[in-house]
Amino acid sequence: AQSVTQLGSHVSVSEGALVLLRCNYSSSVPPYLFWYVQYPNQGLQLLLKYTTGATLVKGINGFEAEFKKSETSFHLTKPSAHMSDAAEYFCAVSHQYGNKLVFGAGTILRVKS
């Protein structure tokens, strides 16, 4: 079985500060990892994903995440927060043998001016 833990249901940063959203996963098979973002009243939009290859993946809007197998982590970062980054962020895991995404509980990012 697979699972995802997102540390911190709410994260608050100042505009221009580093954004770090934490995600740890559990998987008995090699994982595929995803970060989705949900803006108010909108659907889930893919930010980035890791399947195979380079462990540092870059996504949209300046976000990136690094797959660390030894730490079973896939933390999301952005060097400088922007007001428009305020949203809820979901980490999710699947694997090459199936198509079911297992989501974490989500982290609401607040950006202060």
List residues binding other proteins (CB under 8 A). 32, 36, 41-46, 49, 51-52, 90, 92, 94, 96-106
CB of 36 or CB of 73, closer to other proteins: 36
Run of H or E including 65: strand 64-68
| Distance of closest approach, residue 96 Cβ to other proteins, in angstroms | 5
Find the angle CA(105)-CA(26)-CA(1) to the nearest 5 degrees. 95
CB of 27 or CB of 51, closer to other proteins: 51
φ/ψ of residue 109, rounded to 5? -100, 125
CB of 62 or CB of 106, closer to other proteins: 106
What is d(CA 113, CA 52) in angstroms, rounded to the nearest whole number?
A: 37
Of 37, 36, 32, nearest to 2 by C-alpha is 32
| Distance of closest approach, residue 47 Cβ to other proteins, in angstroms | 11
| Distance of closest approach, residue 94 Cβ to other proteins, in angstroms | 8
| Distance of closest approach, residue 113 Cβ to other proteins, in angstroms | 28
CB of 59 or CB of 62, closer to other proteins: 59
What is d(CA 61, CA 82) in angstroms, rounded to the nearest whole number?
A: 10
Residue 84's beta-bridge partner residues?
none
